[in-house]
Amino acid sequence: MQLTLDITTARAVTSAWAQAPQILLEELETGMGSAVAYLLRETQENTPTAFGTLRRSFIGQVDVLQTLSAVFGTVSSPLPYAVPVELGTRPHYPPLEPLISWVEVKLGLTGEDAEAAALSI
């Protein structure tokens, strides 16, 4: 995803900052909230899913640091496998039980058929 920031009004922002820094910080927080909400929605919609655990784990957060006059926005997941799903991993063989569960959900197989399909992945 590519995000573009238009800085053609940088002088106006600088002027507003000098005149009313608190109001500008509140406006930046509102804008960041909109950006985080958009990114959160797009992330959730584009996350591959079997059970939906990863998709539901994403959270968006906006932080205002008054001392730095800065606004930060993050979208993250606390799950340890979120980054490997996003970036991929080195070749490896995953544990069999989660694969069997995935096969049951995605392929509708059960018992020995599910295990055989999981082993062939």
Q: What is the pLDDT of residue 73?
A: 95
Q: Where do the domains of the chain lie?
A: 1-86, 90-121
pLDDT of residue 53: 95
pLDDT for the residue numbered 13: 78
CB burial readout 59-76, b (16+ within 10 A) else e: ebebeeeeeeeebebebe
Dihedral over Cα of 60, 44, 52, 120: its sign: negative
Q: What's the CA gap between 48 and 68, in Å, rounded?
A: 37
Q: What 3-state class would DSSP assign to 75?
A: strand
Run means of pLDDT, 10 residues per run, the chain, 121 residues: 69 83 89 96 93 96 88 95 91 89 94 94 84
Query: pTM for the complete prediction?
Result: 0.69
Give me the pLDDT at residue 3, please: 65
Residue 39 has what pLDDT?
Answer: 96
pLDDT score of 1: 56
